[in-house]
Structure 1
């Protein structure tokens, strides 16, 4: 039988333009209907008219953009310049995190032509060039650059040879360097500037089930989903939704490409492995722009109730990642030539996370105050300054106790008027109320904080503090232990152990009080009050030599400490609490601390 001859494949040399929306998945996750409506309007009002005006045809719409074909590279670039300018004009008043911006790639190639599509390497290269363009920018191949140079009224930045996904040979690329269109403005630069992904933006990729036990899949997926939810509670964060994240399940992925596609700064990936009666969870935080690993952690736990384990693992990860993300954002801010309010705030927060010393508190204030000057209604700056003032009082680093507490409370009331759902502000206001003989109100504020963020370990610990201020020291330990369960390596853990020690002394459980104060000293040997409180508890046990040694260690760190100064700051008028204070003063005297 004679085989029918195949039909001739139609080919032609074309300029191909690929355009899509930067961070489209993130925008759709935030507000599907509004994003769809805005995109439809921009395509109709800006993109499609520009393409038609310059002799191009839209080959197909891609959901979040389009693929177009031109007979001239010059006309393709002119069309792109026109609609990028028009899109910027139409979106200039939109909030930055909801603003639609197109990325454009242009290439010249020999393409296969079908009635409703075009195919070939020329098309693929245009699409890959679009993927490395800046939001609002245009990236073109060297073949297109050779045709348009000097003809389109803009300059170009040479990006050098680019290794594009699934393209065998490197492609030399150029970015349009026109003021107001692209962040790339220095002609001759060999590296593109960073993507404009939002701060604290991330995606939690589905954790890998090492070993492949199908019965463990639900637990592994549960960790991923719960972590996505809990990380989204971090103030100012943006976390890609689980439905988008799970499209990458089981796939080999390019983390930098995912960062560009989802327009996020960070990728979190991990694995879960069960061996016998133990479960191991490995987690890595990656900078999506550079592919650099920023942090890694391993959790090993005996297998117990899987739901309880999932809750504990997720809570610990969320608390640790909060600190790691702040540190990463602070490092980015250090490189900024013109830091804005949020750059300064992340640097201030990073200082606070290092500890509550005079030095770190002063450094934090030096960031929060100019941030507030730049943006007087910035909630994070207000909360940051309140933390500094409250910590100065709590660490006994100031003699201006009343003024500092009043300033902190005023800042928090303003912050909550601007952001009523701010969990840390509620917790901190609860702390201030506990300092000022309003412990019951303080508990209510901490409970409100936990309703907003279940992982806020400090809120649990400070409820424990309020309980002994109300003469209910027997209830304190459970709250402190819950805080430690959620955040066992917290920089505030030494303070929580002091709370537990105070409660044990109130109950006359002196041996247990010594254990709690010893643990506080182990966690932070540079806090004078931990040594002084340990000395007090040891004195009640009759261990006088060790008590006096601990007292001297505390006085070496704070030579100004006196019993009379300690007596001047009484945060509660509860009779049980006051009786415990009297016993405390007695122990201080026996330990050899100065009366003052």
Structure 2
């Protein structure tokens, strides 16, 4: 670990958020000019080195503390002259802090109390002013063309010992002088402060009667750790360490943790703390890096206060790669301690449990997680293979089974039959989730996946209990919150579903498109059309090629009375998936509503939006429909030949007398059971969640003379025997 004594200058923009809120484009342009014309040239003039740039500030290192103080003074004088003609509210002004102290050097970055004190001093400075530490003053007094005012010893946040603080006097007439010690003038007159204190106390008393007391909860986001190995093939390791840390922290009931999906937007670029605080609403940010090298691994991490930019904690871990789990455990404990959170005994035990003792199995698991994050069939297929390898190497690796269950559920819900057919995907999901809970009953993810499986199977009470258990085990687990919203939705408990989704959105403002679609549908049923439309529009923006999101959006538009927009959305959605998007398809895919009337609410809105009754826009006349006995005599025990939509592809349907059936076309082969229910012909297979897919048979003009239609097929046929 390299250490050195150096001078640190910390600078930030006063009222940055307000300036950006009033004129984002203009403020950015003016700040860019200030940097290029004032700040950067002045830093270069005094031999400074810019360590880090933030949207509202910078950290600069100097070999000489006199140069640092001279640079700070020159910047403030030039800025005062430059902004003089502007209205007060539009002026760009800086606060600057300077410290001489010991720092830790890591690559191009620096850490330690030397840095933290400089940042704290900057926050003590007046707008347009400078504060320096006693160590900096001792070297710069009488050597810089400024004066100083002694502010005495000050207690700075998260700094153990008091620090001597001096204000810098920029007036040339004060150069070389040191003003006598004195108390800093309060910003409010004493009487006004007393009155304000009374008003605040009174307000607090009133509010105490109106609102339940809730302690302040810290919140944190974990930036994706950087891979410093130079080998992109090691990215999965950095991603895995990031996800493991998020998962561990999310187990703490006293901490809100933003999901990695939302934080990923800031990956690969210097963190702009003001943006992160505004977009994610977090108090703290964790950032770090991973550098694997042979059998060794180095992890750097730091915890930053997003309001002040202070480094609350920083450390570096050099270990053997085989000691990865102990490093992660140590890092997590230090971060939790720095956040001043006391885990319960149960939480501490859960977090301390390593996922596996087999590093090779863990490596396969991390590769699987990287592949699964693509959401694409090739990646999902690869992920299942990696999880299987991890489980084979360590049959007690519960997290690998849980991840396998999550991936199988995703494949099943999205009907990725080219990865895994519906029946084996469902079976694998149930088995993997069950195995994960046998091995580690404290994992939240398997319960969340079981909740979805049980809900679709109509086991409503069990699904709600599973989802609640998932949330209890992982208060910060976004998947658990979405699963709870999902099962409440289909149970008809819409306010509870909306509350679960709102929590998920707070933990992950950038939900995945599929989860944001669920959010939109929850708000639709909860009667909040505005939020439903906003959620579904955002889901469509994030995944413009997913047609069923547009169909859901069409329903929300129709419910809000925006019929033209509803029809436009449905028309656009049908261009993507004309076979899946029909009233019949929605009835099949959404049949697990506990109350059938809720499904009718959705169907009614979709009919208003112009969604066709059958796939591919097929329509049939009621007078041409066959009765049940006619259908039985026509199809049962016969081979049907004809053409399947779209594109009139040749197809054959061989139906035995017992209903056992094989359907073949140029692109599909399905084995199933066929039967007649009243005046409908029904197909029963493991597809579409194992539900019977029933539809009418129509006479048609021309050849072939009959058409069978249901949620997935339009088959024009004639009996071949």
Question: What's the TM-score, normalizing by structure 1?
Answer: 0.45
Structure with larger Rg: 2
Structure that is richer in strand per residue: 2
- Which structure: greater helix fraction? 1
Higher relative CO (Cα under 8 Å, sequence separation at least 6) belongs to 1
